[in-house]
Structure 1
Amino acid sequence: MPPRRVVTGRSQEPRQRFAEELRLLRSQSGDSLRKLGEVLGWDWSLFGKMESGETLGGPEVVEALDQHYGTSGLLLTLWELAVGDPTQFREQYRRYMTLEAEAVSLWHYGVSTVHGLLQTREYARELLTVGGTKGDELNRQVEARIGRQVLLTGADAPHFRTILSEAVLRTPLRHAQAWRNQLEHLVEAAERPEVTLHVLPQAAGLYGLVSTDVMFLRLLDGRTVAYTENTHRGELVEENSSVERLQRVYDAVRDLALSPAESRKFIGQILEEAPCAPST
């Protein structure tokens, strides 16, 4: 494992220091940018931009680099300093991402938006934009979100079950074709063996997760943890009794949802109703 280095004697400007460390670690490992991209599942050009200081990348890709180089959080610490706001990447979410990468199965409920693992690039961009993200930061977060979708690829991909409220499917994007692309992407994802998709129709009435997104992670050691999220905050839940209570609520929601076959048909009907982009 590469020895942990101190900042003294290197670039003191955080962004330059971060890029310098990336270049040094890759040089010591003997990896090419293309090889790094193949191993970690991101486009190799992103790593080139990070090493040149053009972009900082996202927390997900930095976490992956820390694990690849065995640097025990050094890169994430430098990234936080370069971003200038360490609080935006909270310890709970850092731990959640680590656990997500180790999970053997994932179960999700989305109350108002498509989960990032199933978002198109256009959907991710508009969602982040309405949240106030813009400029280089917007591009960085879009790439990080799309890059995370590699989790669902490969022979060892975990099974991912998602339940989407009907409201998710009734809230279109500004551009008609971008919205059709997202609906088509969901239909295609639902056909994949590692993805099970349910729709919770509005006719189901009120239910236990009416205002909360939740993700359950089944880990290699048999434990299950949960991550709940609303507009303002997220919380990692690891205490067994709390996770079990959430699971009971999730199971009740699943009982109200349409079957996978019915859900695919439901999304197909919404797709038929969705306006087409104007011809040019």
Structure 2
Amino acid sequence: MTVEAEAGRLKSEADEPGWEVDPDDEWGVAVITTVGRQLKLRREAVGMRAAEFGRAIGYGEDMVYKIEGGKRIPRQEYLDKADEVLEAGGLIAAAWEDVKKVRYPKSVRALADLEAKAVEIGVYVGLSIHGLLQTPEHARALFEAWQPPYSEEEVERLVAARMARKSIFERSPAPALSFVLEEGTLRRRVGGTMVWRQQLEHLLEVARLRNVTLQVMPMSAGAHPGLGGRIEVLKFADGTAAGRADGAFQGRPTSDPKQLRILELRYGTIRAQALMPRESLAFVEQVLGET
């Protein structure tokens, strides 16, 4: 096989688009720069040139230089193969735990960190099904409808980030999760009938978990404190709390006691006006049966 033919089999940026580092993400840049530097030092320590190393792990020389220079986020496969070739004893492969977080937008990581620490979460969402309750297909349909449109790589990145947050359902001890959804979001056929039905079935499955309370706000309920937008309240094991609401506090989480009391009052009123959990399950089943 010629050198040109062999090089053609090596993975390049064209094969793995969408793995650039966000220059405004200081923590992400620091992680990828550090990992890249360690990869370069270990490669040079064993006397391998970039092209030789790239061939050994199945990547082009240019990709090797970009990853070592902190310009590209390495995939798990890259780190695993690099660990094996450089005989790093698992040290390089272990970097994936930090590297995988860099691929998700900074704002998503901040939200996921709060959710991961919370022992109790209460959420009202008016215009869509909450991200923690979405199926991958439903989330993808939402991102594909965005204007201006995301690229296919951006859509996949955003879907992966949203699905990663759902690890909260696997925590032990499980946090107490409360969701209030508007009737209209249950009837909107996002992604088509099949995706919509799968989403409703998923809601029923999640709602039956012992640590989850799902309520539906029917259209007949009239005005309520959530019509201004989303409300979210998170409580932590140390007794502290955080909350956020659309149109308030610049959209950022707040831990101010006065502001939290307002959010808790609004959320409590919303829950009181919504259908009870058992009635809500029956309502979702009814909507599903109408298809």
TM-score, normalisation: structure 1: 0.69
- How far apart, CA to CA, are the structure 1 residues paired with 2:119 and 2:135? 24
Q: Name the residue aligned to 2:140.
A: 125
The alignment status of 1:19 with 2:71, answered yes or no, reads: no
For 1:110, give the aligned amino acid.
V
Any conservation in 1 of the 2:138–2:191 contact (CA below 8 Å)? no
Residues 12-61 of structure 1 deviation map (CA, whole Å, 9 limit, x = unaligned): 6766453299839x94672797x999xx7xxxxxx9xx8xxxxxxxxxx5
Structure 1 residues 189 and 32, CA gap change in structure 2 (3 angstroms): farther
Q: Name the residue aligned to 2:289.
A: 272
Any conservation in 2 of the 1:159–1:194 contact (CA below 8 Å)? yes
Quick one: which of 124, 136, 159 aligns to 1:109?
A: 124
Structure 1 residues 195 and 124, CA gap change in structure 2 (3 angstroms): same
1:50-69 paired onto structure 2 within 5 Å: 61-62=100-101
Structure 1 residues 29 and 200, CA gap change in structure 2 (3 angstroms): farther
Quick one: which of 138, 147, 154 aligns to 2:155?
A: 138
Structure 1 residues 133 and 234, CA gap change in structure 2 (3 angstroms): farther
Structure 1 residues 36 and 192, CA gap change in structure 2 (3 angstroms): farther
Any conservation in 2 of the 1:110–1:168 contact (CA below 8 Å)? no
Task: For residue 89 of structure 1, report the CA deviation from its aligned partner.
Answer: 3.2
Q: Name the residue aligned to 1:153.
A: 170
- How far apart, CA to CA, are the structure 2 residues paired with 1:32 and 1:156? 31
Task: For residue 235 of structure 1, report the CA deviation from its aligned partner.
Answer: 1.9
Any conservation in 2 of the 1:96–1:227 contact (CA below 8 Å)? no
Structure 1 residues 31 and 195, CA gap change in structure 2 (3 angstroms): farther
- How far apart, CA to CA, are the structure 2 residues paired with 1:20 and 1:171? 36
Which blocks of at least 5 consecutive residues in structure 2 are unaligned? 1-30, 41-64
Task: For residue 165 of structure 1, report the CA deviation from its aligned partner.
Answer: 1.1
TM-score, normalisation: structure 2: 0.67
Structure 1 residues 262 and 32, CA gap change in structure 2 (3 angstroms): farther
Structure 1 residues 112 and 265, CA gap change in structure 2 (3 angstroms): same
Q: Name the residue aligned to 1:54.
A: none
- How far apart, CA to CA, are the structure 1 residues paired with 2:159 and 2:112? 17
- How far apart, CA to CA, are the structure 2 residues paired with 1:20 and 1:137? 16
State the identity as a percent: 29
- How far apart, CA to CA, are the structure 1 residues paired with 2:110 and 2:222? 34
Compare 10-19 and 202-211 and name the one that shifted more: 10-19
- How far apart, CA to CA, are the structure 2 residues paired with 1:264 and 1:184? 11
Any conservation in 2 of the 1:109–1:213 contact (CA below 8 Å)? yes
Q: Name the residue aligned to 1:176.
A: 193
Which blocks of at least 5 consecutive residues in structure 1 are unaligned? 41-46, 51-60, 63-75, 81-87, 275-280
Residues 131-168 of structure 1 deviation map (CA, whole Å, 9 limit, x = unaligned): 23231111121122112211111432211110001121
